[in-house]
Structure 1
């Protein structure tokens, strides 16, 4: 079942499968901002990454000397959530641990995804609750994809990312298998604009871990339709589209990231990993605001 929330400006839809947002549509002029999930390019819309972001080495990781297996980006995006609360302006999905999740992720947890309509967009909130009798470890992140171009007569080359502060920043670099090397690539030098093209993503995602900005916008050179994400508090930011070319871009705030290519430690030792003591909860959120 697909659930719908709307106000006078915005309509969103979301699915219990993956707890995933499916649409972010302006009711002013009908413009759709979220990627449509065309399987020719990429079948997702805005998956939730949990309990890993990216890849663990050979899809395997170690907890207390035991080896477990998880696919890229974890289990949430391929799991059925429960809808536990809906109002006129919000909806909450829940993914509780189960015997099935314990086979691949040996911690007892509850993951809640909440969508709240705001005047011109949506607030997306994540809550992780420790339901175990021990400390638990995890990463979590967002992977929303946006139409680029937004208007059909344009191309990706008409668009650019704009940070809200000037950045002098290097990139974490991915190898051909999707793991990070320890090499850093200088990228922005007192700039806040990234002009978009297929070439930008030829080496996979742009991944930042030292941004000053807390907002990023996707804008066109031809009109004022745009979207802005406020990712305050997230330590990592990935920007991605398919290296082979696709009519979307992803803006991905993360707590955690893929393994380094030489990482051999326990899961809890991963860079960027989060921990929760017994009965504690972890909360984070981001907002997407549109302009038409």
Structure 2
């Protein structure tokens, strides 16, 4: 059975489920909810962790040195129970370790640790991947948090995504969930993307590089969420068309190429971790206004 725990300080409260170590709510002290509620009419996810792949595999099949394994979109971790290994009033740490069941679909030994921590009006979410086996560990990893759109109290206001670096990064078009061509123009203008539901008619907007290490999701004259990213070079924005949420997704790894190989090591931005090594990835989100 899954268990949900709560961490809180004087500014924020967060609930996290043991299933996927997935955040269930992000609430300010004044009662405003910022995280998507998982309404099944649109999308049951709220903030899943993506591991050991980000995005789809061709035909939902992953290949490792020519041997194929079934692998659903975004991997196995989001569907697994994590063990609670540490909890305080303002932080918690969950852990997933490889088992015979995970090795049947992903033939590697690993430890995946997820930490949620509050400090003031900021939540930090950190994932650490450790190679506990004796061979190279290839993987992709990403975060998939969904936030209410419109933001609380901002009905009818223009919402935008604003890059800290002011860039106009290139965007990739998905083809049946796989990485397709780079589009000729960026939807960002001087670092600003004014959001409209029609932007997501053809699935997510994926920015492989150039979006930088920080951005804001903001309502004109209303609240905003400011994000920073650690070791997560790929950024995606996604909404199920017409749904009242926006996913701000930082990744290290992407879907397989359309028309390409199913081999894990051939996927864009795949990490290759040496035996005994560990690597950390994370994001912060600060509530402003």
Q: TM-score range by the shorter chain?
A: over 0.9
Work out whether 1:268 is the aligned partner of 2:249. Answer: no
**CA distance in structure 2 between the partners assigned to 1:141 and 1:191 by the alignment:** 26
Matched residue, 1:51: 52
What is the Cα deviation at residue 219 of structure 1?
1.0
Alignment partner, residue 151 of structure 1: 152
Separation of aligned partners in 2, 1:107 and 1:98: 9
Q: Which runs of 5+ in 1 are unaligned?
A: none
SS at match of 1:52: coil
Stretch deviating more after TM superposition (31-40 or 203-212): 203-212
Deviates more, 1:265-274 or 1:68-77: 265-274
CA distance in 1 between partners of 2:31 and 2:262 (Å): 49
SS of the equivalent of 1:211 reads coil
TM-superposed CA distance for 1:257, in Å, is 0.4
Alignment partners' CA distance in 1, 2:256 and 2:134:
27
Question: Aligned residue for 2:78?
Answer: 77
- Contact persistence 1:172–1:185 (CA under 8 A): no
Once structures 1 and 2 are overlaid, which stretch shifts more, 84-93 or 261-270? 261-270
Q: 1:66 to 1:179 in 2, by over 3 A?
A: same
User: 2:208 maps to which residue?
Assistant: 209
Contact 1:173–1:185, Cα closer than 8 Å, also in 2: no
Specify the alignment match of 2:169 in structure 1.
Answer: 169
- Name the CA distance, whole Å, in 1 between partners of 2:38 and 2:181: 33
Structure 1 residue 194 corresponds to structure 2 residue 196: no
Task: Look up the match of 2:102.
Answer: 101
Aligned to 1:116: 117
- On the 8 A contact 1:55/1:73 being kept in 2, the answer is yes
The answer to whether the 8 Å contact 1:167/1:188 transfers is no
Match of 1:13 in 2: 15
Q: Check if 1:35 corresponds to 2:36.
A: yes
Cα separation, 1, equivalents of 2:154 and 2:89 = 35
1:66 aligned partner: 67
Give 1:172-251 correspondences, 5 Å limit: 172-175=172-175, 177-188=176-187, 190-223=189-222, 225-243=223-241, 245-251=242-248
Question: Matches of 2:274 and 2:188 in 1, distance apart?
Answer: 40
For residues 130-150 of structure 1, give each alpha carbon's deviation from its aligned partner in whole angstroms, at most 9, with x where no partner exists: 111211110000000000112
TM-score (norm 2): 0.95
Q: Distance in 1 between matches of 2:227 and 2:111?
A: 26
What is aligned with 2:5?
Answer: 3
Cα distance in structure 2, aligned partners of 1:204 and 1:133: 38
TM-score of the two chains, using structure 1 as the length reference: 0.94
1:158 touches 1:196 (CA, 8 Å); kept in 2?
yes
Output one character per residue of 1:195-218: Cα deviation in whole Å (capped at 9) or x when no partner. 112111111111112225321111
Cα 1:120–1:134, aligned 2, differ >3 Å: closer, same or farther? same
- Are the aligned partners of 2:144 and 2:249 in contact in 1 as well (CA < 8 Å)? yes
